[in-house]
Amino acid sequence: MKTHSFLMLLAACAPPLLSVHAGEEEIRLEYATAPIAGVQSEFARAIRKAMPGVVLITAEKRVGVVSFDGWGTSRQLGYMDVPSGQGSGFFIHDSGYILTNYHVVKGQDSFWITLHDGSEHPARVVGVDPASDLAVLKVENAGEQRFPALRFAAPESVEPGHWAIAIGAPFSLNRTVTVGIVSNKNRSGVGVNAYEDYIQTDASINPGNSGGPLLNSAGDVIGVNDFIMSPSGGNIGLSFAISSGIARSIAEELIAHGRVVRGYLGAIFSPLPHRRGNDSGHGVLVERVYRNSPAAGKLFPDDVVIAVNDRKILNGSELSNALFASRPGDSLKLTLVREGRQLEQVIRLTHAPETSGSHPRRMLLRPIFRE
């Protein structure tokens, strides 16, 4: 009787995999091999498709080297590049452009790219965007060689519960694959980067995975693996990847211009104190407005911004994301609460002014949210 109950429970827990047939004297288990094989084949196809486009990035630092003669006398000072860190990346264009994290290339002097076939190529930095923690490298002296570029998935195609596949080089173990699910999307306010729109996943990533792709079950890029949250330093199922929407647009600007030029508003914001609640129950407080800025004459201290382009603003990170996604010439429609009245202001953003002058805060290069 116990065996019968256990088998029925097993069948209930995994109906797609097992089939239970109860007869007068025996219960026979049959393996549902076809669905298993189908899932495995789908994952294998996605990994085979994406793997050649993923690279190992070895960063190097230039150090001084002193050579000595046979008498111990210094004779010559030279320089050499020594390995100082590793990360992952992936091709986004067949001409050799590689997307990775800014923190993988930060403070480094030279780079080597190891391809899927084991070949190595020097690479240079094309552009970096510290606000989003993204950077683009390019294989040097590629000539007519073509590289296997990965394709970005549409951001709106990602949903919690979807499969997530991470490929990278954790602890220098190149071509490592881990699998999980999308735990959440559009995560912001994590406090790691200035511009945040993360896909949260439980796919295991570790040091060395940074800059590698997070893929859907079709092998298309849904994010760029960025960091983990862990009290111990090891993965506990809280992994974060920069969404494909941010990654693609930033990469395109870095390739075109070498940097990201964002719109300038000219205001400082702070959290909305509880005592300053408004009818909508959300928003951020305008703390300061800079003279001769786009915000001057349209925003005033103590205004409460509750929406940008009709999208509700719940906190400062959402406002920061809206502003970081803007470019010079963009117009933002801000919905405000001012002295108990709701109104709208359309503000056309400009280029950030030059920072010449003795006062370090004379000009505001980007919108600041003060915690």
CA distances from residue 265 to 11, 277, 350 in whole angstroms, order as listed: 60, 24, 7
For 341, the 3-state DSSP assignment is strand
Q: Are residues 107 and 123 in the same domain?
A: yes
272 in a domain, yes or no?
Answer: yes
The full DSSP string for 139-156 is ETT-TT-------BPPGG
CATH number at residue 130: 2.40.10.10
Torsion sign across C-alpha atoms 212, 217, 219, 222: negative
pTM reported for the whole predicted model:
0.78
**Which residue numbers are catalytic?**
103, 133, 210
What range does the domain containing 355 cover? 267-369
Q: Which of 257, 291, 314 is the last residue of a domain?
A: 257
Nearest to 204 by CA among 175, 174, 240: 240
Q: Are residues 240 and 165 in the same domain?
A: yes
Q: Which of 209, 230, 257 is the last residue of a domain?
A: 257
Q: Are residues 276 and 246 in the same domain?
A: no
- Cα 88 to Cα 208: distance, rounded to the nearest angstrom: 6
Q: Are residues 166 and 253 in the same domain?
A: yes
37 in a domain, yes or no?
Answer: yes
> Token digits for 116?
């899927």
286 in a domain, yes or no?
Answer: yes
- Cα 203 to Cα 225: distance, rounded to the nearest angstrom: 10
Query: What's the DSSP call for residue 264?
Result: B
148 in a domain, yes or no?
Answer: no
- Cα 36 to Cα 43: distance, rounded to the nearest angstrom: 11
List the chain pLDDT tens, one digit each, 371 residues: 444 443 343 444 444 444 445 555 555 555 555 566 677 888 899 999 999 999 999 999 888 776 666 665 656 667 777 778 899 999 999 999 999 999 999 999 999 999 999 999 999 999 999 999 999 999 998 888 999 999 999 999 999 999 999 999 888 788 899 999 999 998 887 878 888 889 999 999 888 899 999 999 999 999 999 998 877 666 777 899 999 999 999 999 999 999 999 999 999 998 887 644 455 568 899 999 999 999 999 999 999 999 999 999 888 888 888 888 899 999 999 999 999 899 999 999 999 886 544 333 333 333 444 33
Which residue blocks in 241-315 are alpha helix, DSSP H?
Answer: 244-257
CATH number at residue 363: 2.30.42.10
Q: Are residues 247 and 168 in the same domain?
A: yes
Q: Are residues 308 and 347 in the same domain?
A: yes
Q: Are residues 28 and 85 in the same domain?
A: no
The pLDDT, as a whole number, for residue 335 is 94
Number of domains in the chain: 4
CB atoms within 10 A of CB 9: 10
Q: Are residues 243 and 289 in the same domain?
A: no
> Token digits for 267?
């205001």
Please work out, in degrees rounded to the nearest 5, the angle formed at the alpha carbon of residue 301 by the alpha carbons of 295 and 302: 125
Q: Are residues 135 and 209 in the same domain?
A: no
Q: Considering just the CA atoms, what is the radius of gyration of the chain in Å?
A: 26
